[in-house]
A = this chain, B = another copy of it.
Amino acid sequence: MKLRIFKDIEDRRASRTNRFPRSHRLEPTGFVHAFRSDLPSACTLEPGDTIEATTQDASNGKVRSTDDLPGKVAQRPWVNPMTGPIIINDAEPGDALIVETLSIEPLEERGFSWIREDFGALVATTSTALLNAPLPEAVWPYKIRGGKVIFRSRMNDREIILPYRPFLGTIGCATPEEAPHSLIPGRHGGNMDAVDNGVGSFLILPILVPGAYLYFGDAHAVQGDGELCGVAVEISARVRLQIDLIKGRTVRWPMIESADAVMAVGSARPLEDAYRIACKEIVLWLQEEYGFDLLDAYQLASQTLTCRIGNVVDPFYSVVARFPKVFLY
Contacts and interface: CB of A to CB of B under 8 A. Distances in A.
A130 B132 contact: yes
A12 interface: no
A34 interface: yes
B132 A134 contact: yes
A49 to B, nearest CB: 29
A153 B226 contact: no
A149 B277 CA distance: 27
Interface in A177-198: 177-181
Contact of A130 (B33, B122, B153, B222): B122
Contacts of A283: 122, 131
A138 interface: yes
A6 interface: no
A1 interface: no
A41 interface: no
A245 interface: no
A148 interface: no
A107 interface: no
A300 interface: yes
Nearest to A322: B225
Contact of A272 (B179, B270, B301): B270
Copies of this chain present: 4
Contacts of A303: 113, 149, 151, 162, 222-224, 232-233
Nearest to A137: B295
Interface stretch (A18-26, A97-105, A304-312): A304-312
B268 A271 contact: no
Interface string A207-245: 000000000000000111111111111000000000000
A122 B303 CA distance: 14
Contacts of A135: 131-132, 294-295, 298
A154 B295 contact: yes
Contact of A124 (B130, B224, B312): B130
**Most interface-central of A129, A175, A178, A321 (chain B CB within 10 A):** A129
8 contacts: A122-B129, A122-B298, A123-B130, A123-B132, A124-B130, A178-B180, A224-B304, A309-B309
Closest 8 CB pairs of A and B: A270-B270, A132-B132, A271-B271, A269-B269, A178-B181, A228-B302, A179-B179, A229-B302
Interface of A: 33-34, 36, 77-78, 113, 115, 121-124, 126-136, 138, 140, 149, 151, 153-156, 160-162, 175-181, 222-233, 266, 268-273, 275-277, 279-281, 283, 291-296, 298-309, 312, 317, 319, 321, 327-328
